Amino acid sequence: MSRVVQEVESEDALIATLRSGRAARRRRVAIIVAALAVLLAGIVLARLTVLRPLISISDLIAVLSGRYVEGAGFVVWESSLPRATLGLIAGAALGASGGAMQSLLANPLASPDILGITSGASAAAVTALVLGGWNGPALAAAAFAGALAVVALMIAVGGRGTAAPTRMILVGVGMGMVFGALIHGILQRANIWQAREAMVWLVGSLARATWTDIGWVGLIVAITLPALVITGEQLRVLSLGPDVAQSLGVRVRRQRGIIVALVVVLVASVTSVCGPIAFVPLLAGPIARRLHGGRTNLVTAALVGACLVIASDHLASQAIANTALPAGVVTGLLGGPALLWFVVRSTKVQGVA
Amino acid sequence: MAAVTFVVSLGIGSRATSPLAVWQALFGRGDAAVAALVSARLARAVLAAVVGVCAGMSGVLLQGLTRNPIADPGLLGMTAGGSMVVVIVMQVLGLATPTVIAVSSFVGVSLAAVVVAVIGLRVPRRRQALTMLLVGAAVMACANSIISALLVTNAQSLDLLRHWQVGSVSGVGLARLPGVLPFLLVGLALAMSSGRSLDALSLGEDTAHSLGHSVVRQRVMILGAAVLLTASATALAGPIAAVGLVAPHLVRRIVGVSHTPLLIGSAIAGATIVIVADTLGRVVAPPSEVAVGIMTAVIGAPVLLALARKAVSA
């Protein structure tokens, strides 16, 4: 009798400990997300005001509320605001999809940019632009088809079993190389103006964005990103391995399929407008994971991605007077060394892959 | 085989030339226009053959060194590193003499190789292959974004370099060959002398050691040979994809796994592949041409897929 009571009591105590632990973790997540959101708001504000010449906050409010302000109005509506908006959308989409793929394939380097998904989208977009003269939604559809082709190959060759992620990575890396060659080949055939325009799809830039583009990309991302975050909840279970996840009641193949499909939609729609902004998917995931002590959190990854893209775009456009660099140059230059440092560190701990 | 494709490639192009006319042109007779055409094609074919030899051999060296069937100077980021430094030197210093290109290509390729090797060797054996591939991809991404950063700011160099960046043997001529020659010859000599050490290494590090081979020194030598050959190929024609991956696998089926015949065979097969790809590129979309780098990438893709499927069947 007394033993049973004791057991019940200790079980209660256990549950209480678990509950308080979980609540503490939830608080920590909430604090991190809130802090990142504040940081993001600060970066957006800086993007809109710290320009040449500076735009005062009162001018900015006046412009945004629809009043005419000499000088500032044009800059805000035609340049800084669309770029900040697109940066927000693109960064969030790329960051979250990077985090999702890395977690799904259980490899910190397995992000859509390293795996050739963005190269597939870029190659198709460049082909459609240079050879077909397409633009707008048709171009986006081409980019989507390109990304889908890479993923379909990855899945078809990857097959089933425990080695599937490894095979998918091999295929992805190879496809990245092949599509890279194709992009260069098409650039070579283009005339010089087209080639300059198509360079956007090699580096990634927010400068070409029009409000129409932003509108429909925003719409697609607004639908798919929350869906990815919700399905992403399953990633933690999936990361225990297919067998464990299955026995815990997760439909492994279906969940994997859904997550990959959402990632493809996000990456392709963003790439079709602003090109592959180098390293954002790759960097956002690990940064977010580090903030959460090793756990995958797609909301954080999305916020980190947005911060990265907007800040890089700002730096790129303002750093050198009279020279407008694309955002992808800054993310590429920052991301390269950061990436290698990160690889070295993670190999020291447990070995990448 | 290589010789046959070499001769045939002289006759094929957007303007077909009869074998007889080629023969006459080679020996200084016949039509002057045909002679000019054939001599241009001859330069291309020589270049293609040299590039193919380098790529095929460095593929064998890297696959043997990493004991990983999916290794290739392109996949391991080495050609991208070479391109990066060449582009930087060409744009920032404004220099484009053959020697400068050869040296900077060598510097870039070595840099990438060192990064990949250092990181790759830190991880446990069974994870090495995948890690090296991913580090290679990372180096490639890194190098490409730096190249793009430079090209995007300058329309003139974009126009100049996009033709080089694609991997092409056309319009280059043989002018670049002398600058590359020292690298090429040392690389070839090192490669040909490393057949036995590759055989020993393929038995595993411990066995190689107990057979009296100095493992570290041999590895450095093999990597050095691969770097020299890759640097030569990159300096001559820019990045040419997948030849180093495909050639050794084709040849292994014929000559087996012993490395000395494998090296010779892959050199021949590599030359054949590049000449065929270049010749095909000339005729698939007349009157313009598809650069040889694209053709080899297209040829290499299915081979890569098949290998990926087979390599990790467990």
End-to-end CA distance of chain A: 52
CA dihedral sign, ordered A228, A232, A234, A235: positive
Average pLDDT over residues B185-212: 85
Chain B residues with CB under 8 Å of A181 CB are 166-167, 239, 241, 293-294, 296-297
Q: What angle do CA A333, A335, A338 make, to 5 degrees?
A: 115
| A146 in reach of chain B (CB within 8 A) | no
Contacting A residues, span 105-124, partner chain B, CB-CB under 8 Å: 107, 109-110, 113-114
Map tokens 């066995």 to a residue.
Answer: B207
In chain B, residues with a C-beta closer than 8 Å to the C-beta of A175 are: 301
- A174 shares contact with chain B (CB less than 8 Å): yes
- Contact list in A for residue B164 (CB cut-off 8 A) is none
Q: What is the pLDDT of residues A107-130, one digit of tens each?
A: 777 788 878 888 899 889 888 888
Q: List, in order, residues 6 or more apart from A229 with CB less than 8 Å away.
A: A96, A298, A299, A302
Is A178 in contact with B297 (Cβ distance < 8 A)? yes
Query: How confident is the model over A141-155, as pLDDT tens digits?
Result: 888 899 888 888 888
Interface probe for B, chosen from A184, A200, A317, A320 (most Cβ of B below 10 Å), is: A184
* pLDDT surpassing 70 at residue B14: no
Please tell me chain A's helix, strand, coil percentages from 3-state DSSP, rounded to the nearest 5: 80, 0, 20
Place of tokens 């160099």: B157
Q: What are phi and psi of B170, to 5 degrees?
A: -90, 150
What average pLDDT does chain A have? Answer: 82
CA distance A114 to chain B (A): 6
The dihedral built from the CA positions of residue B168, B174, B175 and B180, taken in this order, carries a sign that is positive
- The answer to whether the Cβ–Cβ distance between A114 and B298 falls below 8 Å is no
Average confidence score pLDDT of chain B: 80
Whether A182 and B293 lie within 8 Å, measured CB to CB: no
Contacts of B288 in chain A (CB under 8 A): 189
> How far A79 CA sits from the closest chain B CA (Å)?
19
Greatest mean pLDDT among A206-210, A333-337, B52-56, B201-205: B52-56
Instruction: Say yes or no: A181 contacts chain B, CB-CB below 8 A.
Output: yes
Tell me, what's the pLDDT at A348? Answer: 56
Q: What band does A300 get if pLDDT is binned at 50, 70 and 90?
A: very high
- pLDDT at res. A343: 65
Q: Bigger pLDDT: A235 or A348? A: A235
pLDDT tens, position by position, A178-222: 888 888 778 777 777 777 777 766 778 888 778 888 998 899 999
d(CA A50, CA B229): 50
Which of A188, A196, A352 minimises the CB distance to B134? Answer: A352
pLDDT digit string (tens) for B103-150? 899 999 999 999 888 887 777 776 777 778 778 877 887 887 788 777
Indicate yes or no: CB of B75 within 8 angstroms of CB of A279.
Answer: no
**Cβ(A111)–Cβ(A285) under 8 Å?**
yes
> What is the predicted pLDDT for the residue at B27?
65
pLDDT at B56 over 90: yes
User: B146, A170: Cβ pair inside 8 Å?
Assistant: no
Q: In this complex, how many residue pairs, one in chain A and one in chain B, have their CB atoms less than 8 Å apart?
A: 187
Nearest residue of A to residue B118 by CA position? A344
Which residue, among A302, A311, A261, has the nearest Cα to A284 in the 3D structure?
Answer: A302
CA distance B298 to chain A (A): 7
Q: What is the pLDDT of residues B181-198, one digit of tens each?
A: 889 999 999 999 888 888
Predicted confidence band of residue A88 (pLDDT cuts 50, 70, 90): very high
Closest-CA residue of chain A to B299:
A178
Least confident of A50-64, A216-230, B19-33: B19-33
How many Å separate Cα A289 from the centre of its chain?
Answer: 14
Interchain CB distance below 8 Å, B291 and A114: no
Residue B119 to residue A173, Cβ atoms within 8 A: no
Least confident of A83-92, A131-140, A302-311, B260-269: A131-140
Question: What is the pLDDT averaged over residues A9-29?
Answer: 85
Query: B10 to each of A264, B3, B54, B233, B287, how far by Cα in Å?
Result: 45, 11, 21, 21, 17
pLDDT of residue B101: 84
Res. A89: pLDDT tops 60: yes
Residue A158's pLDDT band (cuts 50, 70, 90): confident
Give the mutation candidate from B305, B310, B313 for the A interface (greatest A CB count, under 10 A).
B305
Q: Which amino acid is at B113?
A: A
Using the predicted structure, report yes or no on whether residue B167 has a pLDDT greater than 50.
yes
Average pLDDT over residues B220-247: 89
ipTM tops the 0.90 cut: no
Cβ B293–A185 below 8 Å, yes or no? yes
Report the distance separating Cα A327 and Cα B152, nearest Å. 11
**Nearest CA-CA distance, residue B96 and chain A, Å:** 20
Centre a 10 Å sphere on the Cβ of residue B28 and count the other Cβ atoms it contains: 7
Highest mean pLDDT among A33-47, A59-73, B8-22, B192-206: A33-47
Most confident of A51-65, A198-212, B233-247, B274-288: B233-247
- Higher pLDDT residue, B92 or A218? A218
